[in-house]
Amino acid sequence: MTGLRDAPAGRVLCIEPMSSGAALLGAAHDLGLETVVLSYDGDDRRLADRVRQDTDTLVVLDTNDEAALTAAAVRLHREREFAGVLPGFEFYVPVAARIAAELGLPGLAADSVAEVRDKALMRRRIEAAGLRVPRYATAASATELDAAAEAVGFPCVLKPTDSAGSVHVSRVDTPERLRAAYQSLTMDQRLDLGRRLDGRVLLEEYLDGPEVSVEGCVANDGQVFIAAVTRKLLGAEPHFVELGHVVQAELSPAERRAVDAYVSAALTALGVTLGPFHCELRLPGGEPVLIELAARLGGDHIPDLVETATGVPLPHLAVAAYTGLDPQDVPLRAPRAKYAAIHFLTAPELASYRTVRGLEQLRERPEVLAAELYLAPGEPIPPLHDFRGRLGHVLYTSDSYADALALRQTFDLGVSFA
């Protein structure tokens, strides 16, 4: 997509662009905006090369220090005003809203934005709006687990109230499994963008049904635009690792109407009045029930899938919303395929691999858009309990939903790790 001819000059501030947030920088350039990035730029917050290429000015600081972030943003805004503040990852949605309010720029309501990050607060607000949510309870210590389990019942799902990437999300069927899962969570000292889990968890009713996510954007005039519904393909329980996505999901007209209505009502209930959204739902009996709603672009290359299958450039719409640009000025492309999908390569039986076979042949297939590995030979392969256990991905297109599912098996047969 080329730059817009009459786009106003200006610049945007982006906080820690990671995952799909990295696409916001290229979109900003396409819209005629300069980019200023605030990043820790080290450890698991080290910027990718493609992010550096789309960064005009980089300011290095601890992005988990809100006072330092705010001071830097105020100083830079005084030097030359920003058109908008972009959260580059979902952890930074609340602080981006508070900084935008401080600078007098478009953003989510600073006094309620925590509800799109804290899953317990989110469920309370959605439930209060009259929308169905799973039966749930919270716990902040091992001693509170039994009372939470009694309120929810088994089987249930344990998850941190403030995390991402399916980290420590698991189905538990007994009190013993619940205690073991919680102990595993609290003993995990790994960092996720410089943060550790704090032990607060949500215990919720297990819902049996297909899982989807809804991708879209709320324009700066408050109009909700739903671009696509993504079918999410999960790994074996008790974990809920996302092993593939297909755009569009195959829903009946009645299911699609119910999903669209539910998501629009959830956005209103949570005060998501501006910017991108990614809403995950389960559909027991075809009825939408909230898993979570994030005020960000979907991860796992979902915006790429949406643009391939629909022509809608969600990162560009997100930047337009955050900077007050007219969404009508964002050009749409013709879809490149009827369906677009991603499949994640895994080898859960291996602790590491020395060789991979079939990857180059896979890349030559006409339906394959890209194939990438995350771990190099010899690197330890984490258990397939969350996104960190995936080895790589294949982006591809298909002419039907059924073909999109069938192709995944051929990819697994064609690529082997040893």
Residue 314 in contact with residue 303, Cβ under 8 Å? Answer: yes
Residue 241 in contact with residue 384, Cβ under 8 Å? Answer: yes
Query: In what helix (H) or strand (E) does residue 327 lie, and over which residues does it extend?
Result: none
Joined together, the tokens standing for residue 317 give 């719409």
Express each pLDDT in 136-191 by its tens digit. 999 999 889 999 999 999 999 999 988 776 788 999 999 999 999 999 988 988 88
Tell me the CATH class for 211-417: alpha beta
- Count CA atoms closer than 13 A to 346's CA, side-chain side: 22
**How confident is the model at residue 362, as a pLDDT?**
96
Considering only CA atoms, which of 118, 297, 78 is closest in space to residue 202? 118
All residues at 6 or more sequence positions from 261 whose CB lies less than 8 Å from its CB, including other chains: none
**How confident is the model at residue 263, as a pLDDT?**
98
pLDDT band at 9 (very low <50, low <70, confident <90, very high): low
- Show the DSSP H helices in 165-294 as ranges: 175-187, 253-270
**Cα–Cα distance between 303 and 367 in angstroms, integer?**
18
SS3 124: helix
**Cα–Cα distance between 222 and 409 in angstroms, integer?**
42
Q: Which long-range contacts (CB under 8 A, 24 or more apart) does 178-184 make?
A: 178/145, 178/149, 178/203, 179/142, 179/145, 181/238, 182/139, 182/142, 182/145, 182/158, 183/142
**How confident is the model at residue 72, as a pLDDT?**
98
Mean pLDDT of 195-212: 92
Mean pLDDT of 126-133: 97
**Cα–Cα distance between 34 and 266 in angstroms, integer?**
33
The DSSP secondary-structure symbol of 79 reads H
Angle between helices 314-323 and 302-310 (to 10 degrees): 110
Residue 213 in contact with residue 273, Cβ under 8 Å? Answer: no
pLDDT of 408 above 80: yes
Mean pLDDT of 132-139: 96
Q: What percent of the chain has pLDDT over 70?
A: 98
- Show the DSSP H helices in 80-219 as ranges: 93-103, 119-128, 145-152, 175-187
Task: Give the pairing of strands 275-282 and 211-218.
Answer: antiparallel
Domain at 10-114, CATH from 3.40.50.10790, 3.40.50.20, 3.30.465.10, 3.10.110.10: 3.40.50.20
How many helices (DSSP H) and strands (DSSP E) are in the chain? 12, 18
**How confident is the model at residue 61, as a pLDDT?**
97
pLDDT of 306 above 50: yes
Locate the domains of the chain by residue range: 10-114, 135-205, 211-417
pLDDT of 78 above 50: yes
**How confident is the model at residue 76, as a pLDDT?**
98
What residue ranges in 115-255 does DSSP mark as E strands? Answer: 136-139, 156-160, 170-172, 201-205, 211-218, 224-234, 242-247
Query: In what helix (H) or strand (E) does residue 78 lie, and over which residues does it extend?
Result: helix 66-79
Lowest-confidence range among 61-65, 138-142, 205-209?
A: 138-142
pLDDT band at 309 (very low <50, low <70, confident <90, very high): very high
Name the CATH superfamily for 135-205.
ATP-grasp fold, A domain (3.30.1490.20)
- Mean pLDDT, the chain, whole residue set: 94
**How confident is the model at residue 1, as a pLDDT?**
45
What residue ranges in 257-390 does DSSP mark as E strands? Answer: 275-282, 289-294, 339-345, 356-357, 368-373
Locus of tokens 């979907």: 298
Express each pLDDT in 105-128 by its tens digit. 999 999 889 999 999 999 999 999
The DSSP secondary-structure symbol of 8 reads P
SS3 192: strand
